[in-house]
Amino acid sequence: MTPSLSIVIPTFNESGNIAPLLAEIDDMIDGRTAVEIIFVDDSTDDTPEVIRRQSAGRRGSVSLIHRATSIGGLAGAVADGLRVARGSWVVVMDGDLQHPPSVIPALIAEGERTGAHLVVASRYIPGGDHGGLSGRHRVLASRLSTLAAKVLFRRLYPVSDPMSGYFAVRRTALRTDRLRPVGYKVLLEVIVRCQIRRISEVPYGFRERVTGDSKSSVREGVRFLRHLARLRVSTGSATLAGPREA
């Protein structure tokens, strides 16, 4: 059966989060939705074995792509998952439990209601909460990254949270051959390179990390700024335009 929903989850040393994450996804699924879960794993611990063990005997489809070489980091892992996703909607979320799966139905419902090509789970619109960002330095880094991206790409002006790692996109709107991901901010790459036109948002509460370590660092911040510059140069003036109706 072809799934109506694909959930792409990049993982890196998240073994302690796999069982509770799958349990929350099971609680979200209404039993009528055909769902496939795609883990794209760059781990150096036993996360792949935990995914295989937790997936055994499940009703839904769970697949694992274990990458021996982490090309493109988290964003590269997401891009690899997008390329194999079969659902009409594809949800991208982290594997660290900071993105509550209970928001997925709202993302899909918003997309269907508005005709949006992409729906962003936002921490920064009314009803949203960025409380899971640990420390003022991460809040500041998120804000500055958002500002830098919007200065370079007017298409992002209506998006309150272009740094979000939690979103739903119609598979027909994806142009995976265009993606050149680097680092861990894949939404920006998807919006700009796929020239997404219709974007909507729903609020969500960004939860605190339960286990594992944050991937955010000064090195990743520098990597993001370099990627932002390369993206601006490679995509040219066409990406400066704001969203237009398809």
**pLDDT tens, residue order, the chain (246 aa):** 789 999 999 999 999 999 999 999 999 987 767 899 999 999 999 999 999 999 987 877 899 999 988 888 899 999 999 999 999 999 999 999 999 999 999 999 999 999 999 999 999 999 999 886 655 666 667 777 778 888 788 778 889 998 899 999 999 999 999 998 877 778 988 998 899 989 999 999 998 866 655 555 556 667 777 777 777 777 754 444 444 443
- List the chain domain ranges: 5-240
pLDDT of 241: 45
Residues 6+ apart with CB under 8 A from 68: none
pTM: 0.85
Q: Are 104 and 112 in contact (CB under 8 A)?
A: no
Which of 54, 38, 122 minimizes the C-alpha distance to 87? 38
Q: Are 144 and 126 in contact (CB under 8 A)?
A: no
* Amino acid of residue 152: L
| C-alpha distance from residue 32 to each of 57, 60, 153, 230 (Å) | 19, 11, 39, 43
Spatial distance between the Cα atoms of 150 and 142, rounded to a whole number of angstroms: 12
Q: Are 60 and 87 in contact (CB under 8 A)?
A: no
Q: Are 232 and 153 in contact (CB under 8 A)?
A: yes
Spatial distance between the Cα atoms of 176 and 174, rounded to a whole number of angstroms: 6
- Specify the fold of 5-240: Spore Coat Polysaccharide Biosynthesis Protein SpsA; Chain A (3.90.550)
pLDDT of 151: 79
pLDDT of 128: 95
